[in-house]
C-alpha cells in the first residue's frame, strides 16, 4: 500500500524546508486547520533523535503561534494520531466554543452546525507569519 503522505503533498503547502512541510488542510468546518508533515516516512516521534524532535515541534509551535495571532481561537488542539496514515504528522487545529465539535475532538460526531472562524487572506497571512517565524532556521538558507 502506498503512503498518501509520501506520494502526495497532503494539502496546500504554506511553508516547507528540507525537513518538513506545513499544509493547510482542506477541512470545511475548520478553515485554519493545519498539518505539519515530516517529509521522511517515519512512524513514531521516538524514531527521531532529540534534535529532530525539537526541530519538528518548533515548526508545530510556530504554526500554533501564527494561528493564535491570526484567528484568536478559544483553544488550540495539537494531535498526532497516525493510526490510519502511520507517517509522522501533527494536526494543529484552532478551536472555538461554537465550532461543530467543541468541546469534543474534531473527529468526534458533530454537536451542532459549527460556525466557521476565518479572516480575509488567511492562507497568505499564515504563509507570511510562518516565513517570518521560521526564517532563522538554517535549513531555509
Ligand atoms: Zn509516508
pLDDT tens sequence across 48-77: 999 999 999 999 999 999 999 999 999 999
Would you tell me how many other CB atoms lie within 10 Å of the CB of residue 17? 16
Q: State the distance from the centre of ligand 1 to the C-alpha of 10, rounded, in angstroms.
A: 10
Contact 68, 55 (CB under 8 A): no
Residue 141 clears pLDDT 50, i.e. is over it: no
pLDDT grade, residue 97 (50/70/90)? Answer: very high
Query: Any residues with CB less than 8 A from the CB of 69 and at least 6 apart, and which?
Result: 129
Contact 105, 81 (CB under 8 A): no
Contact 31, 116 (CB under 8 A): yes
Looking up residue 105, the CATH number of its domain turns out to be: 3.30.428.10
Mean pLDDT, rounded, for 114-131 = 95
Q: State the distance from the centre of ligand 1 to the C-alpha of 16, rounded, in angstroms.
A: 16
* pLDDT tens figures, 5-46: 998 888 999 999 999 999 999 888 999 999 999 999 999 999
What is the total count of domains within the chain?
1
Q: State the distance from the centre of ligand 1 to the C-alpha of 141, rounded, in angstroms.
A: 26
Distances, alpha carbon 129 to alpha carbons 4, 26, 68, 84, in Å: 27, 19, 11, 30
- pTM here is 0.93
The β-bridge partners of 78 are 92
Which cell is 104 given? Answer: 469534543
Please state, in angstroms and rounded to a whole number, the distance separating the CA atoms of residues 37 and 91: 9
Q: What is the pLDDT of residue 116?
A: 92
Range of the domain at 135: 4-140
Please state, in angstroms and rounded to a whole number, the distance separating the CA atoms of residues 67 and 100: 18
Q: State the distance from the centre of ligand 1 to the C-alpha of 33, rounded, in angstroms.
A: 20
Residue 137 clears pLDDT 80, i.e. is over it: no
Length of the chain (residues)? 141
Q: What is the pLDDT of residue 27?
A: 87
Amino acid at each position: 500500500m502506498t503512503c498518501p503522505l509520501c506520494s502526495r503533498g497532503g494539502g496546500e503547502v504554506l511553508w516547507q524546508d528540507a525537513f518538513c512541510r506545513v499544509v493547510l488542510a482542506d477541512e470545511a468546518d475548520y478553515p485554519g486547520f493545519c498539518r505539519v508533515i515530516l517529509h521522511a516516512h517515519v512512524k513514531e516521534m521516538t524514531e527521531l533523535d532529540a534534535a529532530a524532535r525539537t526541530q519538528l515541534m518548533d515548526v508545530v509551535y510556530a504554526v500554533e503561534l501564527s494561528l493564535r495571532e491570526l484567528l484568536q481561537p478559544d483553544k488550540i488542539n495539537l494531535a498526532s494520531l497516525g493510526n490510519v496514515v502511520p507517517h509522522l504528522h501533527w494536526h494543529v487545529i484552532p478551536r472555538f466554543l461554537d465550532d461543530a465539535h467543541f468541546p469534543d475532538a474534531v473527529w468526534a460526531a458533530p454537536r451542532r452546525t459549527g460556525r466557521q472562524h476565518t479572516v480575509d487572506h488567511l492562507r497568505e497571512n499564515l504563509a507570511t507569519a510562518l516565513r517570518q517565524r521560521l526564517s532563522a532556521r538554517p535549513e531555509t538558507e
